[in-house]
Homo-oligomer: A and B are copies of this chain.
Amino acid sequence: MSRVTIAPEEDRLNAQIAFAIEIDKLKRIIRRNHLIDGSRRENTAEHSWYVGTLAMVLGEHAPPGTDLQRVVAMLLVHDLVEIDAGDTFIYDPVEVAVQADAERAAADRIFGLLPPDQTRWIRELWDEFEARKTPEARFAKALDRFAPILANHHTEGGTWPLFKVKAAQVREKVRIIEEGSPSLGVYALELVELSVARGHLSE
């Protein structure tokens, strides 16, 4: 009688490497907004790095007691679902609605490549981010909304005039920033009003 022996550690590493190879694809997902120098559109991998690093240096603008390391972890994985579901333009309500199902299916497939305990862990981080009920998730989402406003402000409006986004729509996104970080909310609103004053964002 023959018997195949499996080393569980090796299985775990193989699953983790399959995940590592898969998530490299996030570098190919192109977002609407541009880099701050205006040279090209941003991809989702570099966006994820950017907001994760912002969480480090802007952490004091989160409510006291916010677990910033959890915020960073959340931001590093928050957009992995875009590998299957693509980037959603947050100012397109139809796109946003259709996207939710596609993103859940993507989470099942992509996080499912990992060993089961890690699948659950990353899924929890992602669900928490999406639900926006903890201070960590609210701060993470605030940074996710803050970064494109910063980029648009510094690229003469960037995606706003390009996709005919109005000031009222942007002010609504600023409310999400305020919920995660009052001081970043105030700052973001200043950028928005300055963009309006400069004619880079229409009322």
Contact = CB atoms under 8 A, between A and B. Distances in A.
A54 interface: yes
Instruction: Find the residue from A21, A45, A150 having the highest chain B CB count within 10 A.
Output: A45
Contacts of A77: 53, 56
Interface in A31-45: 35-37, 39, 42-43, 45
Interface residue tally on A, bucketed by range? 35 or more
B24 A37 contact: yes
B150 A53 contact: no
A178 to B, nearest CB: 15
A24 B52 contact: no
Copies held by the complex: 2
A7 to B, nearest CB: 11
A26 to B, nearest CB: 8
Contact of A46 (B21, B49, B73, B154): B49
A196 interface: no
A109 interface: no
Nearest to A154: B21
